[in-house]
Amino acid sequence: MVIGDGSHKGNQNSDGVRDGKKILYCVGVGPGDPSLITIKAKEIIDNSDIVFCPVKSVHSESFALEIVKKVCDLQSKEIHKLIFPMTTKEEKARPYWFSAYEKIRERVLEGKKCVFIVEGDPLIFSTFNSIINIIKEKKEFEIEIVPGISSFQILASRLAIPVVDGDEILVIMPASIKERSGCRTAELRPEFDEIINLASTIFIFKCGRVIGEIKKKLEERVNEGKDGKFLAFFGELCGTENEFISNLEELNKTDFHYFSTLMLKKISED
């Protein structure tokens, strides 16, 4: 099959089968505002039998599910919460990934119309990325991804700042890296200095612990007369009722939410 030939539409029936193979839909439901769920995402959820959603523990609520509840009637559907623990230790997380896969597999192969929902976009720092390779390797059913709006897009749209244009370069990155212990460092990624010299626009996810370090590096660039000055904006819980956006220079927060994003935009000096 040629990728992108439109066959994912033509050979699919209402029972969630394509070319004789069962399908799991993975749907991005956006950053929090239910009005930002796409028409296609809502249609797939409305037509599903079973909704799978990620949670970080047994007693946790699903952020994605709370978004969906505001626009979809879920009373007739089975809701299955799948645990994806908040750990960077792969050996600890992997059993949960395979457990989630097996639960999904069982219901998909039964012929149920199944959808896996995630906040934001399914392929950008998403829980679904933990199991997508397992599904591809097993080849027992197919996947259809429905894109969603990501928080970084909301941040840029609130500021009315173009993300990229012409020959500009975009970088989307997490703030820190994993240590050998599996924990994330409280220090900015060592590649940042190289990235900031190269990129026109940078979005830094989960940036709360490194805000001070980023401020310092931006100040150093100005003091040292380096090429490329940057506008810098901080966004937290973008696209939700608790959205907070600030110019980085004026930011005086000390307590940061997990869903925090920094936008750096290089200023043209022409």
pLDDT (tens digit, 9 = 90+) per residue, 96-128? Answer: 999 999 999 999 999 999 999 999 999 999 999
Nearest to 131 by CA among 143, 146, 114, 149: 143
Report the distance separating Cα 23 and Cα 218, nearest Å: 47
Q: Is the pLDDT of residue 4 over 80?
A: no
Q: Which of 91, 100, 76 is nearest to 26 (CA)?
A: 100
What's the chain's average pLDDT? 88
Please report the domains of the chain, with CATH numbers, ordered by start residue. 7-146 (3.40.1010.10), 151-267 (3.30.950.10)
Q: What is the pLDDT of residue 208?
A: 86
In percent, how much of the chain has pLDDT > 90?
Answer: 67
What's the angle, vertex CA 126, arms to CA 121 and CA 127, rounded to 5?
135
Residues in the chain: 270
Q: What's the CA angle centered on 172, arms 168 and 173, to 5 degrees?
A: 135
pTM above 0.85, yes or no: yes
How many Cβ atoms from other residues are within 10 Å of residue 70's Cβ? 12
pLDDT of 183 = 57
SS3 of 9, please?
A: helix
